[in-house]
Amino acid sequence: MTQRLLPDEPGIAAAARLLQEGACVAFPTETVYGLGANALDDGAVAGIYAAKGRPSFNPLITHLAGAADAARFAEVPAAAERLERFWPGPLTLVLPLRDDAGIAPRVLAGHRSIALRVPAHPLARKLLKASGLPLAAPSANPSGRISPTTAQHVLEGLDGRIAAVLDGGPCQVGVESTILDLTGPPRLLRAGGVPAEALEEALGTALIRAEGEVSEAPVAPGMLSSHYAPRAGVRLNVTEPLPGETLLGFGPVKSDWTLSESGDLDEAAANLFTRLHQMDAAGVRAIAVAPIPGEGLGLAINDRLARAAAPRD
Ligand code: TXA
Ligand code: MG
């Protein structure tokens, strides 16, 4: 049985203790729920891969309490300083690993770089402080399934497989962090909660864009095509659903299901995974998604939808 912990002092203290003992605990971030473990303890991190059924070649993001901690684990390039305003927040930076980082090998999965993020969610921040640990945390879903944006979603996928979930209610951003590789010229590895345009403006340069390549081999690690799969089939860019399809709308269209009736991309991102979960639970067999503009958070939404629609094995 997985404990459901309340978002109060005793709940946070219990979660912190479990993490210090090497257990896996799910916790809310502003993007999605993460499945956390002590990033310095390889045995603890093994528990994440086991609980999720995650392929061992897919490295994890290390979550930190503050931006100042980044220098303990990574060589921080000058470009990172121009991005200071996005931490805490939904931005992950891939940076050259320090030789003396002491990070558990399973977090890195053989890479010489490390993915770091300082989450903004108050509960995540309290948990990071209370545990005193860097926390490795992928999204708290079984590998290949839809990411969780509520504690209930976490339990639907992982009940009995993890020690506890800290229940902080629904996540505000709703799509995972933007991943920016700064080991060379700035490269967008995954569109996410910080719009690519905002990063380009802060850096004063265009990003190399690797995302959106839905392929069989992971281009950047973790870019597996059948990610985020609901049980229903998914077809994109649909203005006229076929018979048997249920429309997932965006903007003023006639449907029981919508990402945002007013056509707001931030709202659509916040609703995305919840709608896919709900449509699965309602037994919808075929989802037809209305066109979503590709700017702002629309880039991340379209990326996740393309993966949901990709053929599975
Ligand atoms: O918003 C988020 O980022 C959430 C919350 C929990 O923080 N986490 C998340 O983790 O989405 P996950 O494991 O689902 O996705 C992490 C991605 C993977 O695609 C992984 O391949 C990539 O980060 N990654 C991790 N370390 C990397 C590295 N050294 N180089 C390139 N990509 C890396
Ligand atoms: Mg994930």
The count of other CB atoms within 10 Å of the CB of residue 67 is 18
Spatial distance between the Cα atoms of 143 and 157, rounded to a whole number of angstroms: 10
Give tens-digit pLDDT for 208-257: 997 444 433 344 444 554 556 788 899 999 999 999 999 999 999 888 99
- Which residues are within 8 A (CB) of 275 and not within 5 positions of it... i.e. 6 or more apart? 248, 257, 258, 259
Give tens-digit pLDDT for 255-310: 899 999 999 999 999 999 999 999 999 999 999 999 999 999 999 999 999 999 98
140 C-alpha vs ligand 2 centroid, how far in Å? 7
Question: What's the pLDDT at 255?
Answer: 87
Q: Hey, what are 258's tokens? A: 């919508």
The arithmetic mean of pLDDT across residues 136-140, rounded, is: 98
Give tens-digit pLDDT for 46-98: 999 999 999 999 999 999 999 999 999 999 999 999 999 999 999 999 999 99
pLDDT surpassing 80 at residue 122: yes
Q: Hey, what are 212's tokens? A: 């959106």
The arithmetic mean of pLDDT across residues 22-39, rounded, is: 98
pLDDT surpassing 80 at residue 146: yes
pLDDT surpassing 50 at residue 205: yes
Q: Which fold has domain 3-209?
A: DHBP synthase (3.90.870)
> Which residue minimizes the CA distance to atom 15 of ligand 1?
138
Strands 91-96 and 178-181: what pairing? Answer: parallel
- Which residues are within 8 A (CB) of 83 and not within 5 positions of it... i.e. 6 or more apart? 91, 93, 180, 199, 202, 203
pLDDT surpassing 80 at residue 311: no
Q: Residue 36, SS3? A: strand
Predicted TM-score (pTM) above 0.75:
yes
On whether the CB atoms of residues 116 and 85 are closer than 8 A, the answer is no
Question: What's the pLDDT at 215?
Answer: 38
Question: What's the pLDDT at 227?
Answer: 57
Give tens-digit pLDDT for 182-198: 999 999 999 999 999 99
**Bond prior to 59 in cis (omega within 30° of 0):** no
Question: What's the pLDDT at 312?
Answer: 60
C-alpha torsion angle, residues 70, 73, 78, 82 (rounded to 10): -20
240 C-alpha vs ligand 2 centroid, how far in Å? 31
Ligand (nearest to CA of 35): 1
- Domain ranges in the chain are 3-209, 233-308
Choice among 5-19, 111-125, 194-208, 211-225 with the minimum mean pLDDT: 211-225
Question: What's the pLDDT at 219?
Answer: 43
Spatial distance between the Cα atoms of 10 and 89, rounded to a whole number of angstroms: 25
Spatial distance between the Cα atoms of 88 and 75, rounded to a whole number of angstroms: 19
Mutate to test the pocket of ligand 1, among 52, 61, 214 (most ligand atoms within 8 A of CB): 61
Question: What's the pLDDT at 221?
Answer: 40
The arithmetic mean of pLDDT across residues 130-137, rounded, is: 98
The minimum-distance atom of ligand 1 relative to the CA of 192 is 1
135 C-alpha vs ligand 2 centroid, how far in Å? 15
80 C-alpha vs ligand 2 centroid, how far in Å? 24
261 C-alpha vs ligand 1 centroid, how far in Å? 30
Strands 164-166 and 25-28: what pairing? Answer: parallel
Mutate to test the pocket of ligand 1, among 52, 111, 112, 176 (most ligand atoms within 8 A of CB): 176
The arithmetic mean of pLDDT across residues 89-113, rounded, is: 98
Spatial distance between the Cα atoms of 161 and 145, rounded to a whole number of angstroms: 15
Ligand (nearest to CA of 92): 1
Question: What's the pLDDT at 310?
Answer: 82
The minimum-distance atom of ligand 1 relative to the CA of 173 is 1
238 C-alpha vs ligand 2 centroid, how far in Å? 26
138 C-alpha vs ligand 1 centroid, how far in Å? 6
Q: What is the CB < 6 Å shell around ligand 1?
A: 29, 31-32, 34, 58-61, 90, 92, 94, 111, 113-115, 117, 137-139, 176-177, 179, 189, 220-222
Q: What is the CATH number of domain 233-308?
A: 3.40.50.11030
